[in-house]
Amino acid sequence: MNLHEYEAKALLKEFGAPTANGHVATTPDEAAEAVKHLDTGTYVVKAQIHAGGRGKGGGVKLVKTVDEIRSEADRMLGMTLVTPQTGPEGRLVRKVYVEEGSPIARELYLSMLVDRADGRVAFVASTEGGMDIETVAAETPEKILTFSVDPASGLQPFHGRKVAAALKLEGDLAKQCGKLIAALYKLFLAKDCSLIEINPLVVTEDDQLRCLDAKMSFDDNALFRHKDIAELRDIHEEDPAEVEASKYDLSYVKLDGDIGCMVNGAGLAMSTMDIIKLYGREPANFLDVGGGATKEKVTEAFKIILSDENVKGILVNIFGGIMRCDVIAEGIIAAAKETNIGVPLVVRLEGTNVEKGKELLAGSGLDIIAADDLEDAAKKIVAAVEGK
């Protein structure tokens, strides 16, 4: 789950990280009213969407007067903001954040994430703030410091000194860096974060560190421990099909292909997507119905897949362990009768109650293409979609 910038900065401030003062607004008048609570001669109006690169699309503007704040808020609110991270469809701006301007001397990069290779929390730091870290990694990797923290010993003072040295911070700035690192690490663990990205982290003209922008993501599996975070979920920033899937505890991610996939188990789902690509097509989604899917859950999964207008065929690949093949078959039949599938459907079943599942499908009277194994299923769905 992701947060808006203003929500992420509220958490940063709660844990002692330095941020500028600001106020969120949903109308131009509210944006203008925010000036009463700010204490600078310059202000920044920022569109609030779950995507980076807002400045490139006109979603971040530096202003000096109340009238300019009102004008920029009026322009941004209700606009479809297109950035390198939104895709051509863009995102609708429903809120803006009015923040005190910061006199910037240097821009730096700092982030924390879960390093899944070694199962630790990792820091990434670079002197090249304000840029995409992927670009820095590709063009000047020597300017990036990456290290992980041993959970047995936890964060130590030398970690702060290590980051300060990489960012070329000395004296009081190095001390501020150490405090910031400690605050971020405490926040990361306390809230079960999966990512905290400060880009840019700035040094102001009066030698103060400040988190000028903030991106924050959380482990969905840990949200039951953090109701305060879960309540900040903005479904307007998520794909409608993914929101619908979450209601039924389905793991669904929309992709750009045209073959819909319904699978049980994340590993099997990835393999299914890979073999579709191997035979020349692209998967339209990742969809894991899980090990305890019911007939109703399978029916909803079909509805979600078919809500994507790009889907030209569906591949169902089920290996029944806890998940019984006859339950999947009942769900497929119910979904077909309720939704009028209307595209080629290939089903590969294996495992618990597989023969019963195949009997149900064969006797359903539906136009279902049976497959013996995964390779056979991939070949058949690709051929069906291509009309071969």
C-alpha distance from residue 78 to each of 27, 55, 73, 366 (Å) = 10, 17, 9, 46
Check: CB of residue 236 under 8 Å from CB of residue 225. no
Cα(243)–Cα(257) distance, integer angstroms: 20
Examine the residue annotation and report whether 197 is marked as an active-site residue of this protein. yes
Cα(301)–Cα(290) distance, integer angstroms: 11
* Catalytic, out of 43, 109, 248, 252: 109
Where does the chain show beta strands of DSSP type E? 22-25, 43-47, 60-63, 80-81, 91-92, 96-100, 104-115, 120-126, 144-149, 193-204, 209-211, 215-218, 251-254, 259-263, 285-288, 313-320, 345-351, 369-371
Examine the residue annotation and report whether 97 is marked as an active-site residue of this protein. no
Check: CB of residue 259 under 8 Å from CB of residue 345. no
Cα(339)–Cα(325) distance, integer angstroms: 21
Question: ∠235-241-246 over CA atoms, to 5°?
Answer: 65
Task: Point out the annotated binding site for Mg(2+).
Answer: 199, 213
Cα(108)–Cα(129) distance, integer angstroms: 4
Cα(162)–Cα(118) distance, integer angstroms: 20
Task: Point out the annotated binding site for substrate.
Answer: 264, 321-323
Task: Point out the annotated binding site for ATP.
Answer: 46, 53-55, 99, 102, 107
Quote the DSSP letter at residue 343: S
Tokens of 104: 């910037």
Check: CB of residue 59 under 8 Å from CB of residue 49. yes
* Catalytic, out of 5, 128, 197, 300: 197
Cα 10 to chain centroid distance, Å, stands at 20
Question: ∠135-87-96 over CA atoms, to 5°?
Answer: 90
Please give the positions annotated as active site.
109, 197
